[in-house]
Structure 1
Amino acid sequence: MKHTDKDLLLKGIKKMALALPLLFLSPYLLTLSFLNKDNYMFYLALILGLIAGAGAIYLCFKGINTIIKSMFG
């Protein structure tokens, strides 16, 4: 009977913890950018919001994948 690899589980939880701030930051930056369309900050906030959103999706995927590997792999 296999047991959970605790070190791998901890790595997955750390990745999920890093994704959590990005999950809140990306919608905020995107909303901020679309509220300031006439300002030069529109492009900066839009690019940062898209990068934060992509980073959150990537870290969530890798974190869940690592947690699954620690339990079943």
Structure 2
Amino acid sequence: MNNNKKEVLAKGLKILALSLLFVFAGPVILYSAFNNQEHPLYIAVLVLGIVCFFLAMFLIFKGIKTLGQAIFDSK
């Protein structure tokens, strides 16, 4: 494995590690939003939780794609 592949592999692992933050933050924020439906910031917190979910999914797919490029790319 050459140096460039190691860098791409490390980048993919960093992206996946970052996605873990949003994987856990999304449900916590949504739970908080649904428990405080009468609060004036309910909609803002709900949107933030949904954005965390979509960001987590995007980062997971991007991280897996980057790992796949590092492992299976023949360049």
Q: TM-score, normalised by structure 1?
A: 0.91
Partner of 1:22: helix, strand, or coil? helix
Q: TM-score, normalised by structure 2?
A: 0.88
Structure 1 residue ranges, 4+ long, deviating more than 3 angstroms after superposition: none
Letter of the structure 2 residue corresponding to residue 68 of structure 1: G
In structure 1, stretches of 5+ residues that fail to align are none
Alignment length (residue pairs): 71
- Tell me how far apart the structure 2 counterparts of residues 41 and 26 of structure 1 sit (CA, whole Å): 16
Q: Would you say 1:20 and 2:33 are equivalent positions?
A: no
In structure 2, stretches of 5+ residues that fail to align are none
RMSD of Structure 2 on Structure 1 (CA): 1.1
Matched-pair identity in %: 34
- Tell me how far apart the structure 1 counterparts of residues 64 and 34 of structure 2 sit (CA, whole Å): 31
Q: Would you say 1:61 and 2:44 are equivalent positions?
A: no
Partner of 2:60: helix, strand, or coil? helix
Structure 2 partner of 1:32:
32
Structure 1 partner of 2:9:
9
